[in-house]
Structure 1
Amino acid sequence: MSAASEQAGQTTDAPVRLGPGDIACSRGLATWLSTHQVSLALSSYQTGQLFLVGVKPSGGIHFHAVGTNRAMGLWAEPQTLILATANQVIRFENILEENQRIGDADKYYVPRVAHTTGDLDIHDIVKLKDGSIVFANTIYSCLSTLHPVHSFAAWWTPDFISKLAAEDRCHLNGIALRGGRPAYVTMVSRADVVNGWRDRRDLGGCIIDVRSNEVVTENLSMPHSPRWHQGKLWVVNSGTGHLGWVDTASGAFQEVCFLPGFARGLSFHNGHAIVGLSLPRDGSFKGLPLDDELKKRDADPWCGVQIVNLDTGNVVEWIRFSGVVKEMLDVCTLPGVRLPSAASPTSPEVSNLRTIASSAKRVEPA
């Protein structure tokens, strides 16, 4: 990707080509993934890549890049991936049976359904128990569902948003499920004017209870990726660089650890948090406490993933990108998957990936 196209925020459908120095991993990452029987799925907004991270039969780390037209919010299950892109929501399905392999891959995800939404700047996306999809419609400042005719149907709108307009008023970006239903959302501010959140990046970030419309807390800085996990409301306070949880009674934010980058994307597995990190877009985190936090620690910002032990707050394993990959948008786990792979929606191989459902039965006409 040229420097000019990167600065313009353009994306590419082609898999990004990583050179020998463009990616580094902690020495124990492969062992950690194998021990915890999990793989990772990462979306990289600015390069448009879906990265799948697993372990080779030889024991080394395997990275697979899938080109998309911007890779945004991501929902992952062992059999299904749901990815928001620049103008579509794409559902990938694993086509391999339990003992089948394509190369070394034990899961191979193929794009099966693409719902065209137009550009909604979709951040978090979740699948409910009934199979329906709800997403953070950031452009329109609401939670939305897919619609068979229109770009979306509004599912929930904050009570301070006076009008559905493509103005990214409050930068509503995150969804926390509780009991299988959207329970909490994050937003950068409670602004009700076009791009109003940009004037409130340092403080004013809030979490709202979807069920009651009550504000849980409003003293955060650019919060993202709320998650209800083991009885706590976790969130990344992206503007300060801290992972922590919010006391839903008092609204107090309890810091667990500092992460050296713009944190966005959060998943949990076996007592650990997996968090995505991004570099600043303009070379600095101007106007954010994160800038001072990095200076205080004499640290450079990261792009990549860090795995945090929730008991100690220590980073136990990590992935670090350099070169063309500068931003992560979402991070998901794939429990029970050793080496995932996938086909790009625009790749030539999709034309020849024809599979027949083995459980299909012929139905005779009445």
Structure 2
Amino acid sequence: MNAYDTPANSAGAAPASATEGEADPKTVAEVLGSVHTTNFPDLLRQLGGSLLVSTYQAGKLVILRPDGASINTHFRNFMRPMGMAADNQRLALGTAIEIAEFRNMPAVAKRLQDPPRHDAVYMARRVHISGAIDIHEMAWDKHGDLWFVNTLFSCLCTLDSKSSFVPRWRPRCVSHYAPEDRCHLNGLAMRDGRPRYLTALGESNEPQGWRVNKRDGGVLFDMAGDKVITRGLSMPHSPRWYDNRLWVLESGRGKLVTIDPKTGQKTDFASVPGFARGLDFLGPIAFIGLSQLRESNAFTDIEITDDNKDRQSGVWAVHIGTGKTVALLKFTGGVQEIFAVQALSGVLFPEIVHEGELLASTYALPDEALREVGFTQAPPPTSGYAAPS
């Protein structure tokens, strides 16, 4: 049976394979314990990709990659990881006070394991200090510039070499730049290689004024027309333009919805059992991040917490033709909240390196320089040279 057609509730469940890393085994088990439907590994293989999941609550970037009959949940520690942008050549990750950038160096894979099985190795290349601005979603435009949502200052930004951030757009409701989280601007969707649609939890111009009406004060903006497309949304997140449709997660209701960008009409497409935040696509599958929401969380007095006491944390796979859940991975330990879900198309078993000896002894050189590398004696077996992809 095609994995797309296997309903999650009849696929059975399998534990994720042992989580890799150097943390205390008890801590790892608590943080990243998970189970998944048996079809999840084959689904990723069939789609030809893997998933990155950021959880600021647990301080982890989790890589979900198929490994035989299991999902290998591989983790890397970061300080409050949230928004990210990634493809098969590069990765950008927003954290507590910085944006970390990585480049894929596939030639490094042979140094990781014998026999090698990694098909991508994202090596840290640079870090931009942004300050604590509560970075939310981010994406590259068609020119390779990185755009990111600066939630604390209620604006959409890019980078330069001198500034903490370069404001490029803010909603009309926000009169000035200030670190006051006035509208909780959070989501960013690209269309035709340009930033286009953004979500916010309110239209306030007061410090944290969006909190007054969390339940249905959310809005969807069209940056191109500098207008509001839809109001009355329940904590919208993760707008995406995909398959010629505008998708939004209405997190407060646990819904994946489509919105007509011309009329603003909203249509419920699928339901998930949790606070939906983090969305990406591979082929006909939408991968949706779910959070439990802790009792102390500021987002609890909303519909999803009223109607669904048994909220889940994990990644749900929904078919965009039928709206049905076809697979899922559920965290059973300390991962209670997910922020972003990013699909890596064409990459099945990636690694991310941001510290340690491998980073110290691997050198990225331009192709023309690599042709002139030579040694008077054999190089140390612990070093390597490669050109970034």
Same fold, judged at TM 0.5 (above): yes
Matches within 5 A, 1:48-63: 48-56=59-67, 58-63=68-73
- Give 1:252's aligned residue: 265
Does structure 1 residue 333 correspond to structure 2 residue 343?
yes
Q: How does 1:282-301 map to 2 (within 5 A)?
A: 282=295, 286-294=300-308, 300-301=310-311
- What percentage of aligned pairs have identical amino acids? 35
Q: How much does 1:229 deviate?
A: 0.9
- Contact kept? 2:31, 2:58, Cα under 8 Å: no
Pick from 144, 155, 161 the counterpart of residue 157 of structure 2.
Answer: 144
- What pairs up with 1:208-223 in 2 under 5 angstroms? 208-223=221-236
Runs of at least 5 residues in structure 2 that lack an aligned partner in the other structure: 1-21, 373-389
Instruction: Return the structure number with greater helix share.
Output: 2
CA contact (8 A) 2:109 2:121 kept: no
Q: 1:189-236, CA deviations, whole angstroms, 9 ceiling, x for partnerless residues? A: 100000001111101100011011111001101100000112111000
Is residue 109–residue 120 contact of structure 2 (8 Å, CA) maintained in 1? no
By how many angstroms is 1:179 displaced? 0.5
Aligned to 2:332: 322
Alpha-carbon separation, structure 2, partners of 1:361 and 1:341: 25
Shift of 1:14: 6.5
Does the CA-based 8 Å contact 2:199-2:221 persist in structure 1?
Answer: yes
C-alpha spacing 1:150/1:61, structure 2 compared with 1 (3 Å)? same
Structure 1 residue 99: Cα displacement:
8.2
Unmatched 5+ residue regions in structure 1?
1-12
- Separation of aligned partners in 2, 1:313 and 1:153: 39
1:302 and 1:96 map into 2 onto residues whose CA distance is 35
Residue equivalent to 2:6: none
The answer as to 2:166 corresponding to 1:153 is yes
Structure-1 separation of matches of 2:370 and 2:361: 23
C-alpha separation between the residues in 2 aligned to 1:200 and 1:14? 41
Q: Is 1:43 matched with 2:51?
A: no
Decide which of 91, 95, 112 is 2:105's aligned counterpart: 95
The answer to whether residue 362 in structure 2 is matched with residue 354 in structure 1 is: yes
Q: With structure 2 as the length reference, what TM-score do the two structures score?
A: 0.84
**1:355 Cα deviation after fit:** 2.1
Q: 1:310 & 1:220 partners in 2: Cα distance?
A: 21
Q: 1:341 to 1:98 in 2, by over 3 A?
A: closer
130, 137, 145: which one aligns with 1:124? 137
Alignment match, 2:89:
79
SS of the residue corresponding to residue 210 of structure 2 reads: helix
The alpha-carbon deviation at position 111 of structure 1 amounts to 1.1
Give the drift of 1:59: 4.4
Aligned residue in 1 for 2:77: 67
- If you compute each CA radius of gyration, which structure gives the higher value, 1 or 2? 2
Query: Which letter does structure 1 place at the counterpart of 2:83?
Result: G
**Cα-to-partner distance string for 1:59-92 (whole Å, 9 max, x where unaligned):** 4322210111111101110121110000110111
Q: CA RMSD in A?
A: 2.3
Aligned counterparts of 2:112 and 2:95: Cα–Cα separation in 1? 26
- SS in structure 1 of the partner of residue 367 of structure 2: coil
Match of 2:146 among 133, 136, 151: 133
Write the distance in 2 (CA, Å) between the matches of 1:362 and 1:261: 50
Aligned to 2:147, the other structure's residue is in SS state strand
Contact 1:277 1:304 in 2 (8 A): yes
State the 1:97 CA deviation: 3.5
